[in-house]
Amino acid sequence: MSVTVIKPGLSSTLQDAGRPGFAALGVGRAGAMDGPAWQLANALAGNHHGEAAIECTLVGPTLHFTQPAVIALTGAAISAYIDGRSIPMWTRCQLPADSVLQLGGMAVGCRSYLAVRGGFDVRPILGSRSSDLHAKLGYAHGRALRAGDELPLGIATPLRWSHDMEDAHCLPWSIDPHPWFDFAFQPLALLPGSHSKLLDDNSQQLLNNGKFILSKDSNRTASRLDGHTLSLRRSLELISEATLPGTLQLPPSGQPIALLAEAPVTGGYPRIGQIAAVDLPRLAQRRPGDTVCFRQTTLDEASLRQAGQQQRLTRLLRTLTERLEHSRWKRLP
Partner 1 sequence: MPPAIQCEAMAEDALLLRFGDTIDLAINARVHTAASHLRQRWPELECVPAYASLLLRFDPNEWSSTSGRTPHQRLGDVVQDALNNLSTESVDTRLVDIPVHYGDTDGPDLVEVAAITELSIDEVITRHCATEYRVAMLGFAPGFPYLLGLDPALAVRRRTDPRQRVPAGSVAIGGSQTGIYPDELPGGWQLIGRTPQRLFDITADTPSLLAAGDRVRFHAIDEATFQQLAATKSR
Q: Measure Cα distances from 314 to 58, 293, 301, 308, 311 in Å.
A: 28, 29, 20, 10, 5
Q: What character string, x for contact with partner 1 (CB under 8 A) and - otherwise, covers 207-236?
A: ------------------------------
**Shorter beta-carbon distance to partner 1: residue 10 or 126:** 126
Query: Which of helix, strand or coil describes residue 108?
Result: coil
Q: Measure Cα distances from 57 to 6, 32, 54 in Å.
A: 16, 11, 10
Which span (114-122, 156-164, 244-252, 324-332) binds partner 1, by CB under 8 A?
244-252
Identity (one letter) of the amino acid at 205? Q
CB 212 within 8 A of CB 226: yes
Cβ of residue 276: shortest distance to partner 1, in angstroms? 7
**Shorter beta-carbon distance to partner 1: residue 162 or 303:** 303
For residues 156 and 116, give the distance between their C-alpha atoms in angstroms, rounded to a whole number.
10
- Written as one string, the DSSP assignment of 269-287 is S-EEEEE-GGGHHHHHT--
Q: What residues between 129 and 168 interact with partner 1 by CB under 8 A?
A: 135-137
Using CB under 8 A as the binding rule, whether residue 122 contacts partner 1 is answered as no
Using CB under 8 A as the binding rule, whether residue 24 contacts partner 1 is answered as yes
CB 243 within 8 A of CB 250: no
Using CB under 8 A as the binding rule, whether residue 299 contacts partner 1 is answered as yes
**Shorter beta-carbon distance to partner 1: residue 103 or 190:** 190
Report which secondary-structure segment, H or E, holds 142: helix 139-142
Q: Measure Cα distances from 313 to 42, 73, 258, 276, 318 in Å.
A: 13, 17, 25, 17, 9
Using CB under 8 A as the binding rule, whether residue 25 contacts partner 1 is answered as yes
**Shorter beta-carbon distance to partner 1: residue 28 or 61:** 28
**Shorter beta-carbon distance to partner 1: residue 7 or 305:** 305
Can you tell me which of 17, 302, 309, 316 binds partner 1, judged by CB under 8 A? 302
> Which residue ranges make up the site for partner 1 (CB under 8 A)?
20-27, 125-126, 135-137, 191, 194, 238-242, 244, 246-247, 264-266, 274, 276-277, 299-300, 302-303, 306
